[in-house]
Structure 1
Amino acid sequence: MKQEQATQSVEAITALILEIFRLNGRLLAAGDRLVADLGLTSARWQVLGAIALAPIPEPVAHLARSMGLNRQGVQRIINELAGEGIVAFRDNPNHRRARLVVLTQKGSAAYAAASHLQQPWAQALAESIDMGDMRQATLLLGRLRRRLEVDDGE
Protein backbone atom coordinates (compact mmCIF):
# COMPACT_ATOMS: atom_id res chain seq x y z
CA MET A 1 0.00 0.00 0.00
CA LYS A 2 2.87 2.40 0.73
CA GLN A 3 4.19 2.03 -2.83
CA GLU A 4 0.74 2.84 -4.22
CA GLN A 5 0.51 5.96 -2.01
CA ALA A 6 4.00 7.04 -3.11
CA THR A 7 3.02 6.61 -6.76
CA GLN A 8 -0.16 8.61 -6.20
CA SER A 9 1.82 11.36 -4.47
CA VAL A 10 4.28 11.56 -7.36
CA GLU A 11 1.41 11.71 -9.85
CA ALA A 12 -0.40 14.38 -7.81
CA ILE A 13 2.67 16.62 -7.40
CA THR A 14 3.53 16.20 -11.08
CA ALA A 15 0.00 17.21 -12.09
CA LEU A 16 0.24 20.23 -9.77
CA ILE A 17 3.62 21.25 -11.20
CA LEU A 18 2.34 20.97 -14.78
CA GLU A 19 -0.71 23.07 -13.89
CA ILE A 20 1.58 25.70 -12.30
CA PHE A 21 3.67 25.79 -15.50
CA ARG A 22 0.53 26.29 -17.59
CA LEU A 23 -0.75 28.96 -15.19
CA ASN A 24 2.62 30.75 -15.24
CA GLY A 25 2.51 30.91 -19.03
CA ARG A 26 -1.01 32.33 -18.98
CA LEU A 27 -0.11 34.85 -16.25
CA LEU A 28 2.92 36.06 -18.19
CA ALA A 29 0.88 36.47 -21.39
CA ALA A 30 -1.93 38.27 -19.53
CA GLY A 31 0.58 40.49 -17.73
CA ASP A 32 2.30 41.36 -21.01
CA ARG A 33 -1.05 42.43 -22.48
CA LEU A 34 -2.01 44.36 -19.34
CA VAL A 35 1.12 46.53 -19.20
CA ALA A 36 2.11 46.68 -22.89
CA ASP A 37 0.84 50.26 -23.30
CA LEU A 38 3.13 51.30 -20.43
CA GLY A 39 6.19 50.02 -22.29
CA LEU A 40 6.53 47.13 -19.86
CA THR A 41 6.50 43.36 -20.05
CA SER A 42 5.63 40.93 -17.29
CA ALA A 43 9.35 40.44 -16.66
CA ARG A 44 10.01 44.17 -16.35
CA TRP A 45 6.92 44.60 -14.17
CA GLN A 46 8.08 41.78 -11.92
CA VAL A 47 11.49 43.41 -11.49
CA LEU A 48 9.91 46.82 -10.79
CA GLY A 49 7.71 45.14 -8.19
CA ALA A 50 10.68 43.52 -6.48
CA ILE A 51 12.42 46.90 -6.29
CA ALA A 52 9.29 48.76 -5.17
CA LEU A 53 8.35 46.21 -2.51
CA ALA A 54 11.83 45.73 -1.06
CA PRO A 55 12.00 47.34 2.39
CA ILE A 56 15.35 48.92 1.54
CA PRO A 57 17.29 49.35 -1.72
CA GLU A 58 18.98 46.08 -2.67
CA PRO A 59 21.63 44.94 -5.14
CA VAL A 60 20.65 42.90 -8.19
CA ALA A 61 21.65 39.57 -6.63
CA HIS A 62 19.30 40.08 -3.68
CA LEU A 63 16.45 41.16 -5.94
CA ALA A 64 16.95 38.11 -8.16
CA ARG A 65 17.00 35.79 -5.15
CA SER A 66 13.78 37.28 -3.80
CA MET A 67 12.11 36.59 -7.16
CA GLY A 68 13.56 33.10 -7.49
CA LEU A 69 15.37 34.06 -10.70
CA ASN A 70 18.98 33.99 -11.80
CA ARG A 71 21.04 37.11 -11.31
CA GLN A 72 22.13 37.40 -14.94
CA GLY A 73 18.56 37.59 -16.26
CA VAL A 74 17.55 40.17 -13.69
CA GLN A 75 20.75 42.14 -14.34
CA ARG A 76 19.92 42.28 -18.06
CA ILE A 77 16.42 43.65 -17.36
CA ILE A 78 17.72 46.15 -14.80
CA ASN A 79 20.36 47.37 -17.24
CA GLU A 80 17.63 47.94 -19.86
CA LEU A 81 15.46 49.75 -17.30
CA ALA A 82 18.42 51.88 -16.24
CA GLY A 83 19.07 52.80 -19.87
CA GLU A 84 15.48 54.03 -20.10
CA GLY A 85 15.71 56.03 -16.87
CA ILE A 86 13.25 53.76 -15.02
CA VAL A 87 15.75 52.61 -12.39
CA ALA A 88 19.04 54.00 -11.16
CA PHE A 89 22.05 52.66 -9.30
CA ARG A 90 23.24 53.98 -5.96
CA ASP A 91 26.46 53.28 -4.10
CA ASN A 92 26.21 50.43 -1.63
CA PRO A 93 27.90 51.24 1.69
CA ASN A 94 28.23 47.49 2.38
CA HIS A 95 29.79 46.44 -0.91
CA ARG A 96 31.95 48.34 -3.35
CA ARG A 97 30.83 46.58 -6.54
CA ALA A 98 27.24 45.44 -5.81
CA ARG A 99 25.43 48.72 -6.34
CA LEU A 100 21.91 49.25 -5.03
CA VAL A 101 18.97 49.50 -7.44
CA VAL A 102 16.27 52.14 -6.90
CA LEU A 103 13.24 53.29 -8.85
CA THR A 104 13.47 56.71 -10.44
CA GLN A 105 10.46 59.01 -10.57
CA LYS A 106 9.70 57.54 -13.99
CA GLY A 107 9.99 54.03 -12.54
CA SER A 108 7.72 54.79 -9.61
CA ALA A 109 5.14 56.21 -12.00
CA ALA A 110 5.35 53.15 -14.26
CA TYR A 111 4.95 50.78 -11.31
CA ALA A 112 2.01 52.80 -9.95
CA ALA A 113 0.35 52.77 -13.37
CA ALA A 114 0.83 49.00 -13.69
CA SER A 115 -0.59 48.47 -10.19
CA HIS A 116 -3.57 50.64 -11.10
CA LEU A 117 -4.27 48.40 -14.12
CA GLN A 118 -3.72 45.24 -12.08
CA GLN A 119 -6.36 45.97 -9.44
CA PRO A 120 -9.52 45.59 -11.59
CA TRP A 121 -7.91 42.73 -13.53
CA ALA A 122 -7.20 40.86 -10.27
CA GLN A 123 -10.68 41.60 -8.98
CA ALA A 124 -12.25 40.13 -12.13
CA LEU A 125 -9.95 37.11 -11.96
CA ALA A 126 -10.85 36.44 -8.32
CA GLU A 127 -14.57 36.70 -9.00
CA SER A 128 -16.42 33.48 -8.16
CA ILE A 129 -13.33 31.86 -6.62
CA ASP A 130 -13.73 31.02 -2.95
CA MET A 131 -11.42 33.14 -0.77
CA GLY A 132 -10.64 30.14 1.42
CA ASP A 133 -9.54 28.19 -1.65
CA MET A 134 -7.27 31.07 -2.68
CA ARG A 135 -5.73 31.21 0.79
CA GLN A 136 -5.21 27.43 0.86
CA ALA A 137 -3.60 27.52 -2.59
CA THR A 138 -1.32 30.34 -1.46
CA LEU A 139 -0.27 28.36 1.60
CA LEU A 140 0.41 25.24 -0.46
CA LEU A 141 2.43 27.12 -3.07
CA GLY A 142 4.41 28.85 -0.32
CA ARG A 143 5.22 25.49 1.27
CA LEU A 144 6.40 24.10 -2.05
CA ARG A 145 8.54 27.21 -2.69
CA ARG A 146 10.14 26.99 0.75
CA ARG A 147 10.82 23.30 0.20
CA LEU A 148 12.60 24.09 -3.06
CA GLU A 149 14.56 26.89 -1.39
CA VAL A 150 15.82 24.42 1.21
CA ASP A 151 16.69 21.94 -1.54
CA ASP A 152 18.62 24.73 -3.32
CA GLY A 153 20.54 25.53 -0.13
CA GLU A 154 18.95 28.93 0.40
Structure 2
Amino acid sequence: MLDEIHKRQHVVKQNRPKRTAEGDAFSLFAITALRLAGRLTAAGDDLARPTGQTSARWQVLAGARSGAHSVAQIARLLGIARQGVQRLADTLEGDGLISYVDNPQHQRAKLVKLTDEGETRLAAIDIAQAEWADRLGQSFTSAELDAARAVMTRLIETLDAETGKAQAGYGA
Protein backbone atom coordinates (compact mmCIF):
# COMPACT_ATOMS: atom_id res chain seq x y z
CA MET A 1 0.00 0.00 0.00
CA LEU A 2 2.78 2.46 0.86
CA ASP A 3 4.47 1.66 -2.44
CA GLU A 4 1.24 2.51 -4.30
CA ILE A 5 0.93 5.86 -2.47
CA HIS A 6 4.57 6.66 -3.22
CA LYS A 7 4.03 5.90 -6.93
CA ARG A 8 0.98 8.19 -7.04
CA GLN A 9 2.86 11.00 -5.28
CA HIS A 10 5.71 10.61 -7.76
CA VAL A 11 3.26 10.97 -10.66
CA VAL A 12 1.68 14.03 -9.07
CA LYS A 13 5.09 15.64 -8.57
CA GLN A 14 6.05 14.92 -12.19
CA ASN A 15 2.86 16.53 -13.51
CA ARG A 16 3.04 19.59 -11.27
CA PRO A 17 3.81 22.73 -13.29
CA LYS A 18 7.09 24.47 -12.56
CA ARG A 19 6.86 27.84 -10.83
CA THR A 20 9.35 30.59 -10.34
CA ALA A 21 10.90 31.12 -6.91
CA GLU A 22 8.50 34.06 -6.51
CA GLY A 23 5.56 31.85 -7.53
CA ASP A 24 6.56 29.27 -4.93
CA ALA A 25 6.95 32.00 -2.30
CA PHE A 26 3.56 33.48 -3.23
CA SER A 27 1.88 30.05 -3.03
CA LEU A 28 3.29 29.49 0.46
CA PHE A 29 2.21 33.01 1.43
CA ALA A 30 -1.33 32.36 0.15
CA ILE A 31 -1.59 29.08 2.07
CA THR A 32 -0.34 30.80 5.22
CA ALA A 33 -2.81 33.67 4.71
CA LEU A 34 -5.68 31.19 4.38
CA ARG A 35 -4.60 29.41 7.56
CA LEU A 36 -4.40 32.79 9.31
CA ALA A 37 -7.84 33.80 8.03
CA GLY A 38 -9.33 30.66 9.55
CA ARG A 39 -7.70 31.33 12.88
CA LEU A 40 -8.73 34.99 12.87
CA THR A 41 -12.33 33.98 12.14
CA ALA A 42 -12.27 31.51 15.03
CA ALA A 43 -10.75 34.14 17.33
CA GLY A 44 -13.38 36.64 16.19
CA ASP A 45 -16.11 34.14 16.95
CA ASP A 46 -14.63 33.73 20.44
CA LEU A 47 -14.53 37.51 20.95
CA ALA A 48 -18.08 38.03 19.71
CA ARG A 49 -19.67 34.98 21.38
CA PRO A 50 -20.34 36.63 24.79
CA THR A 51 -22.58 39.14 23.00
CA GLY A 52 -24.42 36.41 21.09
CA GLN A 53 -22.68 37.25 17.83
CA THR A 54 -20.28 35.64 15.34
CA SER A 55 -17.37 37.10 13.38
CA ALA A 56 -19.60 37.51 10.34
CA ARG A 57 -22.33 39.31 12.28
CA TRP A 58 -19.70 41.45 14.01
CA GLN A 59 -18.32 42.55 10.65
CA VAL A 60 -21.76 43.65 9.47
CA LEU A 61 -22.40 45.47 12.75
CA ALA A 62 -19.07 47.27 12.35
CA GLY A 63 -19.98 48.14 8.76
CA ALA A 64 -23.25 49.61 10.01
CA ARG A 65 -21.53 51.73 12.65
CA SER A 66 -21.49 54.92 10.57
CA GLY A 67 -25.08 54.46 9.36
CA ALA A 68 -23.99 55.64 5.94
CA HIS A 69 -23.60 52.32 4.12
CA SER A 70 -26.02 50.14 2.21
CA VAL A 71 -25.81 46.34 2.31
CA ALA A 72 -24.05 46.39 -1.06
CA GLN A 73 -21.50 48.92 0.18
CA ILE A 74 -20.80 46.88 3.33
CA ALA A 75 -20.34 43.79 1.16
CA ARG A 76 -17.83 45.64 -1.05
CA LEU A 77 -15.97 46.93 2.00
CA LEU A 78 -15.73 43.39 3.38
CA GLY A 79 -14.96 41.84 0.00
CA ILE A 80 -17.81 39.34 0.23
CA ALA A 81 -21.06 38.62 -1.62
CA ARG A 82 -23.92 41.06 -1.17
CA GLN A 83 -26.39 38.22 -0.71
CA GLY A 84 -24.47 36.92 2.32
CA VAL A 85 -24.38 40.36 3.90
CA GLN A 86 -28.10 40.81 3.12
CA ARG A 87 -28.95 37.57 4.98
CA LEU A 88 -26.84 38.63 7.97
CA ALA A 89 -28.31 42.15 7.97
CA ASP A 90 -31.86 40.78 7.85
CA THR A 91 -31.07 38.52 10.82
CA LEU A 92 -29.49 41.41 12.72
CA GLU A 93 -32.57 43.51 11.99
CA GLY A 94 -34.80 40.71 13.28
CA ASP A 95 -32.71 40.65 16.45
CA GLY A 96 -33.13 44.41 16.86
CA LEU A 97 -29.42 45.19 16.38
CA ILE A 98 -29.73 47.18 13.14
CA SER A 99 -32.45 49.01 11.30
CA TYR A 100 -32.85 50.00 7.68
CA VAL A 101 -33.24 53.71 7.01
CA ASP A 102 -33.97 55.66 3.86
CA ASN A 103 -31.05 56.37 1.58
CA PRO A 104 -31.25 59.87 0.11
CA GLN A 105 -29.09 58.74 -2.82
CA HIS A 106 -30.99 55.56 -3.72
CA GLN A 107 -34.67 54.79 -3.21
CA ARG A 108 -34.40 51.01 -2.99
CA ALA A 109 -30.97 50.56 -1.37
CA LYS A 110 -31.68 51.33 2.28
CA LEU A 111 -28.85 52.29 4.63
CA VAL A 112 -27.94 50.01 7.51
CA LYS A 113 -27.93 51.73 10.91
CA LEU A 114 -27.08 50.35 14.35
CA THR A 115 -29.81 50.42 16.95
CA ASP A 116 -28.96 51.30 20.55
CA GLU A 117 -28.78 47.57 21.36
CA GLY A 118 -26.54 46.97 18.35
CA GLU A 119 -24.25 49.76 19.50
CA THR A 120 -24.12 48.27 23.01
CA ARG A 121 -23.17 44.83 21.70
CA LEU A 122 -20.62 46.23 19.27
CA ALA A 123 -19.06 48.30 22.07
CA ALA A 124 -18.68 45.15 24.21
CA ILE A 125 -16.98 43.34 21.30
CA ASP A 126 -14.72 46.37 20.73
CA ILE A 127 -13.54 46.22 24.36
CA ALA A 128 -12.74 42.50 24.10
CA GLN A 129 -11.03 43.02 20.74
CA ALA A 130 -8.86 45.86 22.07
CA GLU A 131 -7.59 43.70 24.96
CA TRP A 132 -6.96 40.79 22.55
CA ALA A 133 -5.17 43.00 20.01
CA ASP A 134 -2.98 44.56 22.70
CA ARG A 135 -2.05 41.11 24.04
CA LEU A 136 -1.21 39.65 20.61
CA GLY A 137 0.42 42.85 19.42
CA GLN A 138 3.08 42.51 22.12
CA SER A 139 4.61 39.64 20.12
CA PHE A 140 5.54 41.97 17.25
CA THR A 141 6.91 45.43 16.63
CA SER A 142 4.67 48.04 15.07
CA ALA A 143 7.07 48.11 12.10
CA GLU A 144 6.67 44.35 11.54
CA LEU A 145 2.89 44.59 11.60
CA ASP A 146 2.89 47.68 9.36
CA ALA A 147 5.12 45.87 6.84
CA ALA A 148 2.87 42.77 6.87
CA ARG A 149 -0.22 44.94 6.42
CA ALA A 150 1.45 46.80 3.54
CA VAL A 151 2.16 43.52 1.75
CA MET A 152 -1.41 42.32 2.27
CA THR A 153 -2.85 45.66 1.11
CA ARG A 154 -0.68 45.59 -2.00
CA LEU A 155 -1.78 42.03 -2.71
CA ILE A 156 -5.44 42.99 -2.34
CA GLU A 157 -4.90 45.86 -4.78
CA THR A 158 -3.07 43.54 -7.21
CA LEU A 159 -5.84 40.94 -7.05
CA ASP A 160 -8.49 43.63 -7.51
CA ALA A 161 -6.66 45.01 -10.54
CA GLU A 162 -6.29 41.53 -12.01
CA THR A 163 -9.97 40.71 -11.56
CA GLY A 164 -11.16 44.22 -12.41
CA LYS A 165 -12.70 44.73 -8.99
CA ALA A 166 -11.76 48.00 -7.37
CA GLN A 167 -12.69 47.74 -3.71
CA ALA A 168 -12.66 50.40 -1.06
CA GLY A 169 -10.41 49.84 1.93
CA TYR A 170 -12.02 48.70 5.15
CA GLY A 171 -10.44 49.28 8.51
CA ALA A 172 -7.11 50.19 6.97
Q: What TM-score do the two structures reach when normalised by structure 1?
A: 0.91
Q: Which runs of 5+ in 2 are unaligned?
A: 1-18, 167-172
- Aligned partner of 1:143 among 137, 150, 154: 154
Letter aligned with residue 143 of structure 1: R
RMSD: 1.2
Which residue of structure 1 aligns with residue 86 of structure 2?
Answer: 75
**Which residue of 39, 49, 55 corresponds with 1:36?**
49
Question: Normalized against structure 2, the TM-score is what?
Answer: 0.82
- Structure 1's consecutive aligned runs of 4 or more residues displaced over 3 angstroms after TM superposition are none
The question of 1:120 aligning with 2:167 is answered no
d(CA) in 1 for partners of 2:148, 2:135: 18
Residue 144 of structure 2 corresponds to residue 133 of structure 1: yes
- Corresponding residue number in structure 1 for 2:34: 21
Q: How do 1:42-53 residues align onto structure 2 when only pairs under 5 Å count?
A: 42-52=55-65
* 1:11 and 2:24 are equivalent in the alignment: yes
Task: Extract unaligned runs of 5+ from structure 1.
Answer: 1-5
TM-aligned CA deviation for residue 151 of structure 1: 2.1
Q: 2 CA distance for matches of 1:145 and 1:7? A: 21
Identity %: 39
Q: Secondary structure at the match of 2:110?
A: strand
